[in-house]
Amino acid sequence: MERWPEAGPLLEYVKKTMKEIVVFIDKVIDRLKPEQVNSMLEVLERVYRDGHKVLVMGAGRSGLVGRAFAMRLMHMGFNVYVLGESITPSIGENDAVVAISGSGRTKLIVTAAEAAKKVGAVIVAVTSYPDSPLGQLADVVVEIPGRTKMAPDIDYFARQILGIHEPLAPLGTLFEDTALVFLDGVVVELMHRLGKSEDDLRAKHANIEL
């Protein structure tokens, strides 16, 4: 009969991994480039005040991070949508696209960013690789370290189809966890800049939850 690992060592790995992630995020805070972050905030402020749309997009776990960010923007009163949802409208001139991709190479995200760029939307890329195809397309790049190694020329969907998975915990996970924390920080900064309170956010929160 197969035996489960002892609780002690298993817990040790959980704690060690959590500590590594926390330490990594703490180091990234000091490596953020203020001018990049401020440019992103200025785009979002302008879109909010002018009544334009925000489209958030990402693939895989980055997509989940994007959904969490989009939810908070909605709570603040942004006209925000997520790529792939059936109710997402067309994007046009002066709308903003926030594209989240650690590699900056995921074909779906790059292709969508190209299409948005052609109609005059402002592209904000959150990525570890500012020189990637997504980074080169973007009007604003916010560099979030995290993906220290990636398989060349193989994007997210190709990896899934081929069954190629990166090592556990570091690499992509560090980017996604760091991006999530960073975007939560962006939300709080926007709250202060736009004069929003938690009561304002609560008023937009779902009221039909069980």
What would the mean pLDDT of 21-34 be, rounded to a whole number? Answer: 91
CATH (domain of 48): 3.40.50.10490
What element of type H or E holds 142? strand 140-143
Structure tokens given for 100: 């989240």
Q: Would 168 be classed as within a structural domain?
A: yes
Spatial distance between the Cα atoms of 30 and 15, rounded to a whole number of angstroms: 24
Q: Would 6 be classed as within a structural domain?
A: no
Q: Would 23 be classed as within a structural domain?
A: no
Which of the pair, 198 or 116, is modelled with greater confidence?
A: 116
Q: 45-54, 155-164, 200-209: lowest mean pLDDT where?
A: 155-164
Q: Would 197 be classed as within a structural domain?
A: no
Q: How far apart are the first and last CA of the chain?
A: 41
What would the mean pLDDT of 188-204 be, rounded to a whole number? Answer: 86
Q: Would 4 be classed as within a structural domain?
A: no
Task: Report the domain count for the chain.
Answer: 1
Q: Would 79 be classed as within a structural domain?
A: yes
Q: Would 7 be classed as within a structural domain?
A: no
Where in the sequence is the domain holding 111, given as residue range(s)? 34-192
Report the percent of the chain where pLDDT is more than 90: 64
Q: Would 103 be classed as within a structural domain?
A: yes
Q: SS3 sequence, the chain?
A: CCCCCCHHHHHHHHHHHHHHHHHHHHHHHHHCCHHHHHHHHHHHHHHHHHCCEEEEEECCHHHHHHHHHHHHHHHCCCEEEECCCCCCCCCCCCCEEEEECCCCCCHHHHHHHHHHHHCCCEEEEEECCCCCHHHHHCCEEEECCCCCCCCCCCCHHHHHHHCCCCCCCCCHHHHHHHHHHHHHHHHHHHHHHHCCCHHHHHHHCCCCCC
Residues with a catalytic annotation lie at 176
- Average pLDDT score over the chain: 85
What confidence score (pLDDT) does residue 162 get?
A: 46
Range ranked top by mean pLDDT from 15-24, 58-67, 164-173 = 58-67
